[in-house]
Amino acid sequence: MWSRNTIAYVLILFAIASCKPSDPPTNLSGENIIPKPVSVANTGSSFELTEDTGIYIEGSDELTSIGQFLSDKLAPSTGFPLPVKSIKGIPDSGNIYITTHTDDQLGAEGYVLIIAEDIIKLSAPSPAGLFHGIQTIRQILPSKIESGSIQKGPWKIPTGIIRDYPNYSWRGTMLDVARHFFSIEDAKRYIDLVSYYKMNIMHLHLSDDQGWRIEIKSWPNLTAHGGSTQVGGGKGGFYTQEQYADIIAYAQSRYITIVPEIDLPGHINSALSSYGDLNGGTIVPEEGRVSPGTLQDIGSKSKPTELYTGVEVGWSTLRVEKEVTFKFVDDVVREISALTPGPYFHIGGDEAAATKKKDYITFINRFKDIVKANNKIMIGWEEIAQADINSDIITQYWKLSKYAELAVEKDSKLIMSPSRKAYLDMSYDSTSRLGLHWAAYIEVDSAYQWNLSTQVPGIGKEHILGIEAPLWSETITNIDELEYLAFPRLPGYAEIGWSPETNRNWEEYKIRLGNQGPRMKEMGIDFYRSKKIPWR
């Protein structure tokens, strides 16, 4: 005799077998969207994109650009024209409609996506929200939508309603273009990939001991000499001011704010090698990280240093007692600020082991005034908490809770970049061919399984702006290597910043990520095939 269970099992098997791949998708909440939306409701049917589909915009020219962005992303693989047109009121059946509406809960970046059988309606209070909604549409379509060459349809998506908005306002990554230089094309590619996961910040680490990467017209030798090499002795490079502006405009069109960093008063050898007046004396870079040492040769102060192509940290310093040092910082901050529409300027401030503590405080306090005079909000790595910081200043936590606590005591808000969890330059495991591991090995599960609001005991959400995952470039030399370290950890960091903590769980996430494998392949992303993920 067959038991009830067996009969039910056979019926389920039949049901699965009769589901042909061409059956229309109807389960919107089963889609593999990263970051996971706040809420998804199914309505059990599907919408089809066809050669007659148009993208209709009701709103400003900026919305038209967003509609065009969507059209440009969908046209190559579908082969459909997807014209962008403006309209008053809802378009006919078969179309996509993009507009704005007020909705306080959605905030500055949220959106509502209503997919019905006859229309897709995307609406948000702000253009940034619409842009994020477009990333959701891309992720719901079959992964071959990202192929870039004409593919066979049909292009169907399940119907339903998505209401979505971020948990944290700061969701970013940092790219170190100083240790190894990355071209404008590489920077743009990374910006595109980051925006696909609704991140909104790209912090550029533009200077370090090994290289100065942005043209400063009043101090031309910074790039002419200081930009001429990189880790390993390769030829380095730098962005002209026009190229930097080009990257910023590109990022802006993807609703990403560029945060420029000039690392001061340590990590500064490229400038000291270009202008000897700035040299406050260096210590011998020893093997091993942050090597405390003594000033090697007081006599070498004010003399240009040699260019440096190694990977040690914490051995160079600006000269505090010379006014020219502050003239230099003022010129650099002024020129870069004038090119940067975003409100932030990052002054570094990390690992200044060659700077005396009292000089360090003097430096940070003066940088604070300089950045403020240039109408920017100062950001610094956690060590700046030792100086006179306040609620106008943002502190970037990376290692020591005591500095995070000190910053919070001084009312400074935090960007969370815990190196043991969020450093994209840490190797996945001991077999990884790229990356460092001084903080930890960070496998994909470890990278995902933590919360911003519980990372430092006693420092909750009210003190935290969000997450940033830094990608230091000592071990990576090209875009493929960059992608290998960033992916697939970066989508998880995007989700940690965007999705409510109570909505996140590794067992469920790893399946969604695995199902995004074909999508990353279509996008040409050189990702690490972690064994922790059930790749499809």
Cβ count near 404 (within 10 Å): 27
- Under rule CB under 6 A, which residues in 87-116 are in contact with ligand TNX? none
* Min CB(465)–ligand TNX separation in Å: 17
* Min CB(442)–ligand TNX separation in Å: 11
Q: Is 382 a catalytic residue?
A: no
Peptide bond before residue 154 is cis, with ω within 30 degrees of 0: yes
User: 111-115 and 155-164 as β-strands: parallel, antiparallel, unpaired?
Assistant: antiparallel
* Min CB(425)–ligand TNX separation in Å: 5
CA dihedral over 240, 242, 243, 248, signed as positive or negative: positive
Determine if 313 is a binding residue for ligand TNX (CB under 6 A). Answer: yes
Rounded to the nearest 5 degrees, what angle is found at the Cα of 175, between the Cα atoms of 500 and 183? 135
Cα separation values, 321 from 29, 318, 432, 474, Å:
62, 9, 45, 32
Q: What share of the chain is helix, strand, coil (3-state, %, to 5)?
A: 35, 20, 45
Q: Pick from 74, 75, 66: which is nearest to 97 by CA?
A: 66
Residues in contact with ligand TNX, shown as a per-residue x/- string from 362 to 391 under the rule CB under 6 A: -------------------x----------
Residue (352 or 520) nearer to ligand TNX, CB: 352
Structure tokens at 181: 């230089």
* Min CB(398)–ligand TNX separation in Å: 5
- Under rule CB under 6 A, which residues in 431-470 are in contact with ligand TNX? 436
Residue (197 or 381) nearer to ligand TNX, CB: 381
- Residue 12 makes CB contacts below 8 A (sequence gap 6+) with none
Name the catalytic one among 31, 109, 146, 351.
Answer: 351
Binding residues for ligand TNX, total number by CB under 6 A:
10
Determine if 472 is a binding residue for ligand TNX (CB under 6 A). Answer: yes
Q: Among all chains, which residue has been given the structure tokens 């046209």?
A: 75
Determine if 84 is a binding residue for ligand TNX (CB under 6 A). Answer: no
* Residue 16 amino acid letter: I
* Residue 381 amino acid letter: W
Task: Please select the residue that binds ligand TNX; options are 146, 215, 330, 351, rule is CB under 6 A.
Answer: 351
Residue (238 or 315) nearer to ligand TNX, CB: 315
Structure tokens at 337: 């600020």
Burial class (CB in 10 A: 0-12, 13-18, 19+), 163: middle
Helix axes 323-339, 357-373, angle to 10 degrees: 40
User: 413-416 and 464-471 as β-strands: parallel, antiparallel, unpaired?
Assistant: parallel
Residue (54 or 285) nearer to ligand TNX, CB: 285
* Min CB(298)–ligand TNX separation in Å: 25
Residue (349 or 466) nearer to ligand TNX, CB: 349
Determine if 425 is a binding residue for ligand TNX (CB under 6 A). Answer: yes
Residues in contact with ligand TNX, shown as a per-residue x/- string from 483 to 502 under the rule CB under 6 A: --------------------
Determine if 509 is a binding residue for ligand TNX (CB under 6 A). Answer: no
* Min CB(470)–ligand TNX separation in Å: 7
Residue (293 or 514) nearer to ligand TNX, CB: 293
Residues in contact with ligand TNX, shown as a per-residue x/- string from 156 to 175 under the rule CB under 6 A: --------------------
Residue (135 or 473) nearer to ligand TNX, CB: 473
Residue (122 or 414) nearer to ligand TNX, CB: 414
Altogether, the residues listed in the chain come to a count of 536
Maximum C-alpha span of the chain: 96
Determine if 182 is a binding residue for ligand TNX (CB under 6 A). Answer: no
Structure tokens at 399: 């290692």
Cβ count near 417 (within 10 Å): 24
Strand partners, 58: 99
Determine if 398 is a binding residue for ligand TNX (CB under 6 A). Answer: yes
Determine if 345 is a binding residue for ligand TNX (CB under 6 A). Answer: no
| Phi and psi, residue 77, nearest 5° | -85, -35
Residue (74 or 177) nearer to ligand TNX, CB: 177
* Min CB(369)–ligand TNX separation in Å: 23
Q: Pick from 532, 499, 522, 503: which is nearest to 166 by CA?
A: 499
* Min CB(506)–ligand TNX separation in Å: 25
Residue (179 or 510) nearer to ligand TNX, CB: 179
Cα separation values, 283 from 22, 139, 298, 357, Å:
67, 51, 10, 15
Helix axes 184-196, 241-252, angle to 10 degrees: 20
Residues in contact with ligand TNX, shown as a per-residue x/- string from 260 to 299 under the rule CB under 6 A: ----------------------------------------
The helix/strand/coil state of 348 is strand
- Residue 143 makes CB contacts below 8 A (sequence gap 6+) with 516, 518, 519, 521, 522
* Min CB(482)–ligand TNX separation in Å: 14
Determine if 181 is a binding residue for ligand TNX (CB under 6 A). Answer: no
- The span from the CA of 44 to the CA of 117, in Å, is 10
- Residues carrying an active site annotation: 351
The contact set with ligand TNX (CB under 6 A) reads: 313, 350-351, 381, 398, 423, 425, 436, 472, 474
